[in-house]
Each structure stands twice: as C-alpha cells, then as structure tokens.
Amino acid sequence: MKLYTKDHEWIAIDGDVATFGITTYAQEQLGDVVFVELPDVGKKLVKGGEAGVVESVKAASEVYAPLDGEVIEANRRLTDDPGLVNLQPETDGWFVKIRLAPGTDTSELLDEAAYEAFVQTL
C-alpha cells in the first residue's frame, strides 16, 4: 500500500514496516538534490518530527516523519549518490525504513488519487 502526505512524502507500508521518501513533485520543486542527511538506525521518529534533511541546488529542506516508528534502515546509498533522489525519488531514492509504532494511525495519509488532486491545487 502506497500513501502520501501533504508534505510531499510517499510511504509504502508492508505489514509493520514503512519505507518513505520524497515524492516526484517534491524532487521537481527542489531541483537537483546534492546532499541527503538521514537518521541513524534505532532512532525513534515521531510523526511530523524531523527525519532528515535534503539539500538541492535551490534550497535545503527538512524531511518529516510521516508516521511514528523506529528507524530500522536508512538508505546509505544516498550518502554517496544523492542523485538517486533526482532519478528515482519514489523507488531507489527512498530515505528510511521504520518499524511502525503499535496502533499507528494512517487515516490522515492520502491515496495516490487524493495526493494528485492536492498537488493540482498548488
């Protein structure tokens, strides 16, 4: 199941694990990504709290945790090759995998159609 936030992050949920990163729209707005800072494994993320930083030729922007959980993997390929975010923001350019906190509420997340409709209002 792939969902989206109004902060332009995508989330792929598989059981109690969620993988997330920035959307294609966010990458297009940022321009060429040149640096990505990711949290360490074991860090507890709180929905809406900082989960990393992405810097592009245009700006630096925080990446927010879309859900509560504990970091179980960070995409360290982005440290050496942040350009993966430019090429494949919603696949190989993923940022973090978290183990979801028990009882995590996904009701505020958008499905693809709702996210696309939201982007059209911007």
* pTM listed for this prediction: 0.94
Paired tokens of 12:
């792929």
Matching residue, tokens 């504990």: 70
State the number of CA atoms in the 13 A half-sphere of 66 facing the CB.
29
pLDDT in tens, 45-86: 999 999 999 999 998 999 999 999 999 999 999 999 999 999
Q: Which burial class, exposed, middle or buried, applies to 113 when counting CB atoms under 10 A from its CB (0-12, 13-18, 19+)?
A: exposed
pLDDT in tens, 7-56: 999 999 999 999 999 999 999 999 999 999 999 999 999 999 999 999 99
Strand pairing report for 50-56 and 96-100: unpaired
Domains and CATH numbers, the chain: 2-120 (2.40.50.100)
